[in-house]
């Protein structure tokens, strides 16, 4: 491995010296941290990370390599990757290549050998912020000056960069419930989970008109996860407004936020977001606690919805909204990822709940 120098510079003026991993060059993005101990391949290919440089808090990453099954989309979407120590000699029967080779092939710039604990503490204290990783310009002040002038992700529509180009079917079976999934950056395991629950899945681009979705006569509609600021995805908000009360709707992550905005509510940016597979969430109807996977920087303000919805799930770390249900229509949503299965099956019931809702609504 080439021990080329790399530097990470944050917008607050902090710099970290390390060693290059992946591709040579420079990359800019919002620096966030992920607390998962495993699952780096799913993280890299999650479209929700578009525009972000991901820091793994677990110190040793890459030890089981890269395989062809554990991907959540057709390619990696992260802007950059930060680890304490990269494993160069993976050991797993499914492994086809090293993480370093995978990063190079997909032109992902990364850095290792920095104090990721120090970086994580800074992001917790100061909040997520823009950063730059460079193997080309290794003068810290140059990088600091450049990153300070870069606009953050608030107000930026990243969905248009990750959504599918055209409508497609995920499966061709004889399932009972035709479901339309709005692709705001959908993870493939959401589609797999819907199929496993008895749904026939059609995926449509994020800008698909509500009238076109209704013309497909689905039994239900899923609003998928995705990257960035939900308020910037104005076309999706307007289309969801037109669908409310007409079909059962299940929102996940960004889809949950877009639903909140379509119902007339507000969202706000979290200080450093929720990223990882160990977020405790309580289902208020059962008082059971789920261990959930999450990846978001924005949250719904439940009070702004003026009693239209009922709070169903709450984050036990910071009390933010993790789920809601409409009081009049067959609509519910969660902020976390029920398909990611860190529990491993704590949240799988949500797909069954959606199917039950479709059964009742289409009876």
- Give the C-alpha separation, 115 to 56, whole Å: 11
Say yes or no to pLDDT of 266 above 90: yes
Say yes or no to pLDDT of 176 above 70: yes
Q: How many other C-beta atoms lie within 10 A of the C-beta of residue 239?
A: 22
Identify the burial level of 25 via C-beta atoms within 10 angstroms of its C-beta, where 0-12 means exposed, 13-18 middle and 19 or more buried: middle
In the structure, what pLDDT confidence band is assigned to residue 171 with cuts at 50, 70 and 90? Answer: confident
CATH topology of domain 5-148: Glucose Oxidase; domain 1 (3.50.30)
Tell which CATH classification among 3.40.50.880, 3.90.226.10, 3.30.1360.30, 3.20.20.210 matches the domain 159-361: 3.40.50.880
In the structure, what pLDDT confidence band is assigned to residue 265 with cuts at 50, 70 and 90? Answer: very high
Question: Regarding predicted confidence, which is higher, 171 or 108?
Answer: 108
* Positions of CATH 3.50.30.20 in the chain: 5-148
Rounded to 10 deg, the angle between the 349-361 and 188-196 helix axes is 60
In the structure, what pLDDT confidence band is assigned to residue 78 with cuts at 50, 70 and 90? Answer: very high
Say yes or no to pLDDT of 92 above 90: yes
Confirm whether 199 is a catalytic residue. Answer: no
Strand partners, 58: none
Catalytic residue among 72, 231, 253, 296: 253
Q: How many other C-beta atoms lie within 10 A of the C-beta of residue 173?
A: 12
The whole-number average pLDDT for the span 270-291 is: 94
Q: Which pLDDT does position 205 carry in this prediction?
A: 98
For the chain, state the CA radius of gyration. Answer: 20
Say yes or no to pLDDT of 3 above 70: yes
* Positions of CATH 3.40.50.880 in the chain: 159-361
322 is written with which tokens?
Answer: 């993790």
Phi, psi of 312, deg, nearest 5: -115, -30
Contacts of 258 (CB under 8 A, 6+ apart): 184, 223, 230, 233, 236, 237, 240, 251
Say yes or no to pLDDT of 175 above 90: no
Catalytic residue among 77, 274, 313, 337: 337
- Give the C-alpha separation, 277 to 100, whole Å: 23
In the structure, what pLDDT confidence band is assigned to residue 345 with cuts at 50, 70 and 90? Answer: confident
Q: Which pLDDT does position 340 carry in this prediction?
A: 81
What is the chain's mean pLDDT, rounded?
95
Q: Which pLDDT does position 20 carry in this prediction?
A: 97
Q: What is the pTM of this model?
A: 0.95
In the structure, what pLDDT confidence band is assigned to residue 1 with cuts at 50, 70 and 90? Answer: low
The whole-number average pLDDT for the span 198-212 is: 97
Confirm whether 310 is a catalytic residue. Answer: no
In the structure, what pLDDT confidence band is assigned to residue 172 with cuts at 50, 70 and 90? Answer: low
- Give the C-alpha separation, 297 to 275, whole Å: 8
Q: How long, in residues, is the chain? A: 363
Confirm whether 253 is a catalytic residue. Answer: yes
């Amino acid at each position: 491995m080439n021990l080329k120098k790399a530097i990470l510079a944050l917008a607050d003026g902090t710099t970290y010296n390390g060693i290059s991993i992946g591709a040579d060059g420079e990359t800019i993005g919002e620096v966030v941290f992920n607390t998962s101990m495993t699952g780096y391949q799913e993280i890299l290919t999650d479209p929700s990370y578009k525009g972000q440089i991901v820091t793994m808090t677990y110190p040793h990453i890459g030890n089981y390599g890269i395989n062809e099954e554990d991907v959540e989309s057709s390619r990696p979407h992260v802007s950059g990757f930060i680890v304490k120590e990269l494993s160069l000699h993976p050991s797993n029967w499914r492994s086809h290549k090293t993480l370093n080779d995978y990063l190079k092939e997909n032109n992902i710039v990364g850095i290792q050998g920095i104090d990721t604990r120090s970086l994580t503490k800074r992001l917790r204290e100061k909040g997520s912020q823009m950063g730059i990783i460079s193997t080309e310009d290794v003068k810290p002040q140059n990088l600091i000056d450049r990153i300070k002038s870069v606009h953050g992700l608030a107000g930026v529509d990243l969905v248009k960069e990750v959504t599918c180009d055209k409508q497609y079917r995920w499966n061709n079976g004889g399932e009972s419930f035709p479901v339309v999934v709005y692709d705001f950056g959908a993870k493939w395991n959401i589609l797999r989970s819907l199929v496993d629950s008895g749904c026939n899945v059609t995926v449509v681009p994020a800008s698909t008109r509500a009238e076109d979705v209704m013309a497909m006569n689905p039994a239900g509609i899923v609003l998928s996860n995705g990257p960035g600021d939900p308020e910037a995805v104005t076309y999706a908000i307007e289309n969801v407004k037109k669908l409310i009360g007409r079909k059962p709707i299940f929102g996940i992550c960004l889809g949950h936020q877009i639903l909140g905005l379509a119902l007339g509510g507000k969202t706000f940016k979290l200080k450093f977001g929720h990223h990882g597979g160990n977020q405790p969430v309580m289902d208020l109807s059962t008082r059971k606690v789920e261990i959930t996977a999450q990846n978001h920087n924005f949250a719904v303000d439940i009070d702004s919805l003026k009693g239209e919805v009922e709070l169903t799930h709450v984050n036990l770390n910071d009390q933010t909204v993790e789920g809601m249900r409409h009081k009049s229509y067959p609509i519910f949503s969660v902020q976390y990822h029920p398909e990611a299965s860190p529990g491993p099956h704590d949240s799988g019931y949500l797909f069954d709940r959606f199917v039950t809702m479709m059964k009742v609504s289409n009876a």
